[in-house]
Amino acid sequence: MPDEPEASPVPLRRTRDDRMLAGVLGGMARKWEVPANRLRIAYVILSVLSAGFPGFLLYLLLWYVLPEEPGDTPSGG
């Protein structure tokens, strides 16, 4: 069997291009290779079923903790 190079894992980061609010769930979807909208719907449903508060706090925590993916920054000039 030939040696195949392993794909490098995708780091968990907030996305710049697939975001509804802060890019947290878009980044999770990219990491886990699932459609972002399905993950968003599941997250909202689970948050509502858990009385909403823990899901909201977790989202805010992830927004603060997860770095944003690198991208082009506009030049100031």
pLDDT tens digits, one per residue of 20-35: 889 999 999 999 999 9
Q: Please report the pLDDT score of residue 9 as a whole number.
A: 80
Report yes or no: 39 and 28 within 8 Å, Cβ to Cβ. yes
Q: What are phi and psi of 30, to 5 degrees?
A: -65, -40
Q: How high does pLDDT run on average in the chain?
A: 83
Q: Please report the pLDDT score of residue 65 as a whole number.
A: 94
Whole-prediction pTM: 0.74
Cα 35 from Cα 30, distance rounded (Å): 8
Q: Please report the pLDDT score of residue 2 as a whole number.
A: 59
